[in-house]
Amino acid sequence: MTTSSPIHVAVGVLYNAVGEVLISRRHPNSHQGGLWEFPGGKVEWGEDVQRALKREFEEELGVSPLHCSPLKKILYHYSDKSVLLDVWTISEFIGVPTGLEGQAVEWRSIPTLLQRDFPVANGPIIKCLSLPHEIAITPDVSSFDHLQSLLQLLIGRGLKLIQIRQTQLDSAEYLDWFRRARDACEGTGVDLILNQAPALLDGCSAAGFHASASCLQQLTQRPIVEDALFSASCHNLEELRKAEALGTDFVSLSPICRTEKYAESEQLGWDEFQALADKVSLPVYALGGIQRSDRDKARFYGGHGITGIRTFL
């Protein structure tokens, strides 16, 4: 493996009006030639990433990005080089994407993005893009029957990723409820994330693990395998940066709007949400006093989507 400094690459995920993303095919004689990729290029000395994105998209595609938000930083070591992919989403742009350097370009829906068609380093990008824009969190309830009825309601309302919270249960009870919830969701296309100790993951076939803010502070490394989802609750920049350093796949940031739990002075508001989300390369979900109608607003302010306990109920 090479020991030289990684090549800093600005990568843009360009969205069109129907939620498709733009990909381009690498020239056959280039590194990883023939594979599809998300457009971008090397960050030149003295450039910031947004300037590099603007230059690359104008030169290669005839497109001028207008609104960019950081998504994720990916360090990957190939046998012959190391790359740091600095990935940003581009939700507003001017121009019609065209392969100005002879490269093929296509709009693709996210479910049709297959890892085998891309360089290995692009895998985490596809994983991020595959995250839904809505994630439900179950409230604490007194019986499994109540939890099951809530799951049926959430499934009926189109939720595809649900965090099973249930802080009132001990580990044994939680594991039993989680397994029963997983069985109740079988065949629905819904994935469940556990909220207690990550060690329970092996015993319940969860899609991932969510760390509370207090749990996040105790962690020194990513607690679960890369294939599973790892998320965390954050309330400030320090926690966001800790989550980023641990390799979380996404985070929630709260409280955005008024809630009973937090004082008015603790509410972040949408401008602060955007300011904080722009400082980390992670998909950030708005939490706290959020309505389902706020989903597009969250994305406008640089978030990936919304999450909440009462939001979808």
DSSP 187-256: TTT-EEEE-S-GGGGGGTT-SEEEE-HHHHHH-SS--S-TTSEEEEEE-SHHHHHHHHHTT-SEEEE---
pLDDT at 70 exceeding the cut of 50 = yes
7-21, 46-60, 120-134, 139-153 — which is least confidently predicted? 120-134
Q: Do domains 7-128 and 134-308 have the same CATH topology?
A: no
Q: In what order do the strands lie in the sheet with 40-42?
A: 40-42, 7-14, 82-94, 64-77
Please state the CATH superfamily assignment of the domain spanning residues 134-308 in this structure.
Aldolase class I (3.20.20.70)
Q: What contacts 44, CB < 8 A, 6 or more positions away?
A: 52, 55
Q: What contacts 17, CB < 8 A, 6 or more positions away?
A: none
Instruction: Parse the chain into domains and list their residue ranges.
Output: 7-128, 134-308
More confident residue, 125 or 281: 125
Q: Confidence band (pLDDT; 50, 70, 90) for 2?
A: very low
Do residues 210 and 178 touch, judged by C-beta distance below 8 A?
A: no
Over the stretch 219-237, which tens digit does the pLDDT of each residue have?
999 999 988 999 999 999 9
pTM beyond 0.85, yes or no: no
Q: Give the model's pLDDT for residue 278.
A: 83
pLDDT at 100 exceeding the cut of 50 = yes
Do residues 198 and 224 touch, judged by C-beta distance below 8 A?
A: yes
Q: Give the model's pLDDT for residue 3.
A: 52
Segments of 6-97 assigned E as strands: 7-14, 21-25, 36-37, 40-42, 64-77, 82-94
Q: Give the model's pLDDT for residue 264.
A: 72
Residues 127-153: what's their mean pLDDT? 95
pLDDT at 1 exceeding the cut of 60 = no
Does the domain at residues 7-128 carry the CATH identifier 3.90.79.10?
yes
More confident residue, 4 or 11: 11
Over the stretch 154-202, which tens digit does the pLDDT of each residue have?
999 999 999 999 999 999 999 999 999 999 999 999 999 999 888 888 7
What is the average pLDDT value for the chain, to the nearest integer?
91
